[in-house]
Amino acid sequence: MRSKSEIISLLTNPGIIAVVRAQKADQVLPLSEALIAGGVIAIEITMTTPNAIEAIREASQKVSSRGVIGVGTVLDAESCRAAIQAGAEFVVSPILRPELVALCHAAARPVMLGAYTPTEAQLGHEAGADFIKIFPSDGLGPNYIRAIRAPLPHLRIIPTGIAKADDIAEFIKAGCVGVGLGSLLVSSEILRTNNWSELTRSANAFRSLVEKARGN
């Protein structure tokens, strides 16, 4: 089993977390394979995916040696426990749920709590969250991250809900430790057509954007 620090390293390098809201549970494994083939190894399977817990269990069993399977849209402790038991290696909530921190850390799993305001972001950090998810970040933009990090440089921010590819590099340059990409990466069209080769191509392109923004 990976340590929490090892998982954190994999989440921040290459620095893209694919946010997967699959239409069917049987899409999760092939899309995970496609993402990993494109160099995006951190895969967040949201609880809104049908039969999400079973999908997490299967993906974890099949690809955990090559990727990091986590759970997203976690709103309560019960879902958190079930996902971790199924093999989720990281936990993401779109909202500020401090009670998830103790559960995740007891299982040596990093947790990301959602925030929108500087106060929420700081409260998430004080609760022990390993990362702060700024969501939805599209309407806020990279300059908002810069403004938050000026007085709060200790926050490890991962924005999610990015709508434009051009913004990815700017969020990284603003000091984000990674980005969460949902429909921008795993688009509804890709899910509708099961176009996994296109998903691999997109994953590779976005990974390159992050690497270039970091000067790699």
Q: Provide the terminal-to-terminal Cα distance of the chain, rounded to the nearest Å.
A: 29
Query: Which CATH number is 134's domain given?
Result: 3.20.20.70
Residue 216 has pLDDT above 70, yes or no: no
Q: What is the mean pLDDT of the chain?
A: 97
Structural domain contains residue 167: yes
In this prediction, residue 138 carries a pLDDT of: 87
Maximum pairwise Cα distance, the chain: 45
Structural domain contains residue 152: yes
Rounded mean pLDDT of 93-110?
98
Which pair of structure tokens corresponds to residue 99? 């009670």
Residue 187 has pLDDT above 90, yes or no: yes
Distance CA(214)–CA(64), nearest Å, equals 26
pLDDT classification of 97: cutoffs 50, 70, 90: very high
Q: What is the pLDDT of residues 117-139, one digit of tens each?
A: 999 999 999 999 999 999 999 88
Structural domain contains residue 210: no
pLDDT classification of 140: cutoffs 50, 70, 90: very high
Structural domain contains residue 204: no
Task: Give residue 79's domain range.
Answer: 4-192
Rounded mean pLDDT of 55-60?
97
Rounded mean pLDDT of 29-50?
98
Q: What is the pLDDT of residues 9-21, one digit of tens each?
A: 999 999 999 999 9
Distance CA(10)–CA(13), nearest Å, equals 5
Structural domain contains residue 202: no
Structural domain contains residue 64: yes
More confident of the two residues 1 and 96: 96
Residue 79 has pLDDT above 90, yes or no: yes
- Write down the pTM of the prediction: 0.97
Structural domain contains residue 146: yes
Asked whether the CA dihedral 165, 40, 130, 69 is positive or negative, the reply is positive
Q: Please state the domain count of the chain.
A: 1
